[in-house]
Amino acid sequence: MWDHHIVVANNEVLGDTSLQSVALEDNSAARNYHAWLCDLALPFLGDHPLELGSGLGGYIDYWLEHGVPRITATEADAERLAGLHERFANDPRVEVAEIDLTDPPSGSWSSFVSFNVLEHIPDDTAALRVARQLVRPGGAVVSFVPAFQFALGRFDRSIGHLRRYTVTSAREAYENAGLEVERVHYVNMPGLIAWYVGMKVMGMTPRDGVTMRVWDSAVVPVARRFERSWRPPFGQSVFIVGRVPGSVSGD
């Protein structure tokens, strides 16, 4: 295993890392929502993706179960990184690595995927340029980020969110990094309304509980079916896929 270190904003993870971990646990508990996000990325991952900000490893478990043969996990928070080492210690399909985004190694991963990470990085375009360097020609750079700056509230700031995106701003960041945008759209239209009212107006903190479980079982499946055939004009998040210029080897 090569040894590097992921650096996020001056060698530190922005935001309350313990609150971030709680949010990751709660997201994993929302099974339908978690599966929705994982399935969005799955067709673009290829045979060996690199995940930036693997958190507790929940997305990796899902992708392995659904046929991805090998994954490289990375994480900036030391406690979560140690947890990943422990979780995947006996799984040869997973390499837990540290990569310095300011001095990245040459890479040939099939894709670079980050879920709710870019909004933590001061220079997101620079991070996407690094992603382009790490992925083989024709490979995908896949991101899932929170949407709409007007929804940025206390909870966002407490977990280190510097910005929220629109499809336009996400596309611009990708294109400025030299990536060819293949797909970009909003996800979870009803979630934006709930987030704005609950998090921004009422100052709540999202937690696993009765409300979240009812939402996950009753609202998320309907929204997912609806958005499968119709792209909503707004949503809680933006999903974007870009390609590294060039042809896949062997094409």
Three-class SS string for the chain? CCCCCCCCCCCCCCCCHHHHHHHHHHHHHCHHHHHHHHHHHHHHCCCCEEECCCCCCHHHHHHHHCCCCCEEECCCCHHHHHHHHHHCCCCCCEEECCCCCCCCCCCCEEEEEEECCHHHCCCHHHHHHHHHHHEEEEEEEEEEEEECHHHCCHHHHHCCCCCCECHHHHHHHHHHCCCEEEEEEEECHHHHHHHHHHHHHCCCCCCCCHHHHHHHHHCHHHHHHHHHHCCCCCCCEEEEEEECCCCCCCC
- Do the domain assignments include residue 6? no
Is there a domain that residue 249 lies in? no
Comparing CA positions, the residue from 117, 243, 238, 234 lying closest to residue 174 is 243
CATH of the domain at 155: 3.40.50.150
pTM: 0.86
Give pLDDT tens digits for 167-215. Answer: 999 999 999 999 999 999 999 999 999 888 887 777 666 654 677 788 8
What range does the domain containing 206 cover? 17-243
Q: Up-side HSE of residue 68: CA atoms within 13 Å toward CB? A: 26
The predicted-structure confidence for 64-120, as pLDDT tens digits, reads as follows: 999 999 999 998 888 889 999 999 999 999 999 888 777 777 778 999 999 999 998
Per-residue pLDDT at 164: 95
Count of structural domains within the chain: 1
Q: Which pLDDT does position 195 carry in this prediction?
A: 85
Residue 10 lies in a domain: no
Q: How confident is the model at residue 8 (pLDDT cuts 50, 70, 90)?
A: very low
210 φ, ψ to 5°? -60, -45
Angle between the N-to-C axes of helices 31-41 and 210-218, in degrees from 0 to 180, rounded to the nearest 10:
50
pLDDT of 248 over the 50 cut = yes
209 occurs within a structural domain: yes
Residue 11 lies in a domain: no
